[in-house]
Amino acid sequence: MRRRSRAGVHTLAAMVWGLALLNLWSALFVHAHSRLLLLRQYLPLEVIHGSRLLTVVVGFLLLFLGHGLWRHKRRAWQFSVSALGISALLHLAKGLDWEEAVTSLLVLAALVALRRQYRAASDPPSLRRGLAVLALSILFACVYGTVGFYYLDRQFHASFDVLDSIRMTLGILFAFAEPPMAHGGRARWFLGSLYTVGAFTLLYGAQAALKPVLYRSRAWEQERDRAENIAVRHGRSSLVRITLLPDKAFYFPPGLDAYISFRVVGNVAVVLGDPIGPDEQVPDAIAAFDDHCAEMDWTPCYFQVLPDYLPAYHAVGYQSIKIGEEAVIDLNSFDMQGGEWKDLRHIVSKLSRLNWAVRFYSPPIEAPLIQQLRQVSDDWLRAMGGKEKRFSLGWFDPAYLSECDIAVVESPEGRIEAFANFVTQYRSPVITPDLMRRRRTAERGVMDLLIVKAAQHYRELGFQGLNLGLAPLAGVGTESDAGVPERVLHILYSHFNRLYSFTGVRAFKAKYRPRWEPRYLIYTSAAGLPKAQIAVVRANNPGILWLI
């Protein structure tokens, strides 16, 4: 039954998109002369022309409303019902086009019949979505102008092919070309409508793009401060500081002293880590966010959660899969004594004899040092393909780095060859390096030197652990009780290791003799696992797989 209801919702959304195109076509080309003569006995010509223009504008709005209807959005349903009612009146007022009016009313009636299916709340403002709306708005205006010039070229005493029509439309919309002389009433109306439609769509797109910027500068800062206050009192994982970075949104469960940091990818709400708050409130926070996602028509998943709260996720109906292990150096026992530390001792001793040095800087970090770090970071990015990752990692942001401890490796000549920034886990006595970057020409072993010196430095400051972060797929599918999804990941781990060097990441961290702590992905069902995995990849790699 639920599947049939969803199919009906999607069918209606497609019909609304079809009506949007019908409005455009009807306003430009459908004009029964006998009906117009009858209509002009009752309505002034200005009202008829104005109705045609508004028909195009309503068609433009229906294009965007159709997407909201597809996702069961209540606000989109409300606006669509109003827009279809207005559209029916406009079709009658522009030319007694009763066929289009009846079609609009039939779709409106279907929307009313399925009104209980539209319960999802509107998504929070998103810069990516705003830019997409701006791009589609410009595209709509360009298509409208291109179609008009192509089919009305005789009334301009010209022969416009498709490319000519596109060039003329762009020239008029962006004011670098004079409009052609119109020699017919329909052509004159079309030129006037093109200016109006162009201005309306551009303004609509611009406000959609600016809305998340204004939201980010105002509401997000307040929410971030509230979340940070909770993190300082209750945070205890390597991800807590990353949950406060500006690519996240926050959810505060009603009545709880907790928050959830997440990012919406498509209609998947990807949560970073577990809810942050008092231990006893975490199960209630998970249940509250599940209800919130149902209201928003989102599918939730949680990335890199601790094993501590797995029973709470399972109680709500979620499934879990191990995705890797974090390597945590025990600083209390870290002494580099014995034969197993021989290779690492050799690297550190060699660089120290050659006058390589590690220096530590406490926040606030001054701008000149940030500029030197940027040179190292840019060189590292070029070596790695030139793209920053996000979501579960920080990125090179001066505002972020200026608030962190920084460790740099200097060559004998005093040039910075490598660096790392360190973030605390708040309530846990563990420190975590986030960005770890070096020049391509740096001496072999500089990162080992940095980690060893950092372990010694933070042990002196009273920290008990140094978290080297996640080794993806490490230890996945090797346990005797591993499920089928984990065994499949283990096969992929073995098969793709040559391409992605999963074992290389684990081997680099393993030489510090860390303890390995499992991390999990929480998802809704076996059928939803691929969707959750794709959403996690997209969240961590902005711009990748955006069509999926």
Q: Are residues 336 and 478 in the same domain?
A: yes
Tell me: pLDDT of 405 over 70.
yes
265 within domain boundaries: no
Residue 471, classified by CB atoms within 10 Å of its CB into exposed (0-12), middle (13-18) or buried (19+), is buried
Q: What residues are paired with 408 via a beta bridge? A: 359, 419
pTM for this model (two decimals) = 0.71
Give the model's confidence band at 486: pLDDT under 50 very low, under 70 low, under 90 confident, else very high. Answer: low
Q: What is the three-class DSSP state of 128?
A: helix
pLDDT at residue 483 above 80? no
The DSSP bridge partners found for residue 432 are: 423
**Is the separation of the CB atoms in 542 and 336 below 8 Å?**
no
Sheet holding 299-305, edge to edge: 249-251, 260-265, 268-272, 299-305, 515-523, 319-330, 465-472, 428-438, 416-425, 405-410, 357-361
If asked whether residues 208 and 337 sit together in one domain, one would say: no
Residue 326: strand pairing partners: 470, 517
Domain-terminating residue out of 177, 212, 247: 212
Q: Judge whether 295 lies within some domain.
A: no
Grouping H, G, I as helix, E, B as strand and the rest as coil, residue 352 is helix
Domain that holds residue 202: 2-212
pLDDT exceeding 70 applies to what percent of the chain? 86
194 confidence band (pLDDT: 50, 70, 90): confident
Residues 383, 531: one domain?
Answer: yes
Q: Which of 188, 212, 236 is the last residue of a domain?
A: 212
Domain end call among 156, 186, 212: 212
Mean pLDDT across 491-499: 43
pLDDT in tens, 11-36: 999 999 999 888 888 877 767 778 87
Q: Find the length of the chain.
A: 548
Would the pLDDT of 493 be above 50?
Answer: no
Helix axes 2-29, 127-151, angle to 10 degrees: 40
The band of 477, judged by pLDDT with boundaries at 50, 70 and 90, is low
In this predicted structure, the answer to whether residue 328 has a pLDDT above a threshold of 90 is yes
CA proximity to 88, closest of 152, 132, 23, 135: 23
For helices 45-70 and 74-95, give the axis angle rounded to 10 degrees: 150
Within a domain: 288: no
**Domain assignment present for 71:** yes
Residues whose CB falls within 8 Å of the CB of residue 295, separated by 6 or more in sequence, listed in order? 119, 120, 121
420 in Cβ contact with 292 (< 8 Å)? no
**Residue 110 is assigned to a structural domain of this protein:** yes
Average model confidence (pLDDT) for the chain?
84
Same structural domain for residues 208 and 329?
A: no
The count of domains in the chain is 2
**Are 509 and 367 within one domain?**
yes
Q: What is the pLDDT of residues 90-121, one digit of tens each?
A: 988 888 888 889 999 999 999 999 888 887 77
CATH number, residue 447: 3.40.630.30
Instruction: Read off the pLDDT band of 79 (50, 70, 90).
Output: confident
| Model confidence at 497: pLDDT above 50 | no
pLDDT exceeds cutoff 50 at 67: yes
With bands split at pLDDT 50, 70 and 90, how would you rate the model's confidence at 482?
Answer: low
Average pLDDT of span 414-419: 96
Examine the pLDDT at 324 and tell me if it is beyond 90. Answer: no
Task: Indicate whether 463 pLDDT > 50.
Answer: yes
Q: Are 205 and 138 in contact (CB under 8 A)?
A: yes
Residue 443 falls inside a structural domain: yes
- Confidence check: pLDDT of 127 > 90: no
Q: What is the structure's pLDDT at 296?
A: 81
Which amino acid is present at 491? I
Contacts of 237 (CB under 8 A, 6+ apart): 273, 274, 306, 425, 428
C-alpha distance from residue 4 to each of 1, 268, 540 (Å)? 5, 22, 34
Is 400 among the domain residues? Answer: yes
Evaluate whether residue 404 is within a structural domain: yes
Is residue 200 domain-shared with residue 343, that is, in the same domain?
no
